[in-house]
Structure 1
Amino acid sequence: MKKQLLFAMLLATGAMSAQMTHLIPWFMGVPSTETIIEVNSGDIVTWTWDDNLPHTVTTDAGGAESFASDMLTGDDQEFSHTFTVEGSTSYACEVHPMMTGTITTVGSTAAIGDVTVADFDFYPNPATDNVTVSGKEIINRVQLFDVTGRQLLDNTATTNSVKIYLNGFSSGTYFLKVYSGAKTKNITVVKK
């Protein structure tokens, strides 16, 4: 429950400030689609241990930034780093070198207080099979997260109406992040 509340609070504060927190699950077999991301300068990346094995998060030599976690063991262990230097930073687990990723830091797109919220309608909510997001502006990207912060969907778009199919997901609460240019909107979706 604490994790769910924390993630909901992180989503809510993301809409009010330029700083974002990106969550990366850290476990044996983690796919590169979850460990290779782009962040804005000032964003925080939090790695969360999702197995009971010992792991580290340690940068490779020559990256834009340098950091190293302690060796941590057990579910729900976390390590966070705030990225401030533009460029790419590759990292790996010292215990399991096949666990790798890259964080690419780009300049911040907005100063604190400059973030604007996109105006979109969404329906139905609660939903059974799908949710439609529509508005006057073009939707560029849609991301779907579960209550633990795990990214379930990351799609690009070039229309002002997007349908997100929820058929393969269990009943529960999900968080939808919709991008339109530099504007974003966070939507809480309940699937019946």
Structure 2
Amino acid sequence: MKFTWIYILIFIIAASVSAQETYIIKWGAGAKDLQSTLEVEVGDKVKWIFDESIPQNLLNTSLKASGDFGTKQLLPKGAVYEYVFSDKGFYTFQSGINKNLKGSIRVSENSSVLTQTKDGFKIYPNPVKDRIYFKNPDLSNSVEITFYDVLGKMVKRNAIDSGVIQGGMDVSRLKRGVYLVQIDTGARSFTQKLIKD
């Protein structure tokens, strides 16, 4: 058990370093950060630092972007708005106060997402919206599946019979974000990173 927690802690640190980058955009007229399209990956965080003397907002002007992206609230100079991108696509945004204050972000698949262990155990799809599935040719016993957030806090634990596991697991109630999923078969333990949309 002690070894498992050490392994999880090391994996959490590695996952948080490799899974998520943080990008800063200076949200002000003439900022160099807004002159080209920012390239990020799914799971990355972008922070807008408001730098206008008149309070501004950040409106989502994308055609198919998530409805929770952007803020209509007027924020003063020095305020920070941040957003973690969980869907790939092309995002555009602008201020509702200063129409010349605008930018764009292209979000691609996260190339560092681990989806399969060297032993062939796999969690899919990744990223996931509602239901995850498990694949392992040697799975014959019941398994315990535990979800940890990136801070190492356990958020969900289930014991599943090997016959039921092929039908997948509902994860629709998990909040959007990056999780570590530990699958314990009794004889072996696997840990993989999962992005929840």
TM-score by length of 2: 0.45
Question: Higher Cα Rg: structure 1 or 2?
Answer: 2
Higher strand share: 1
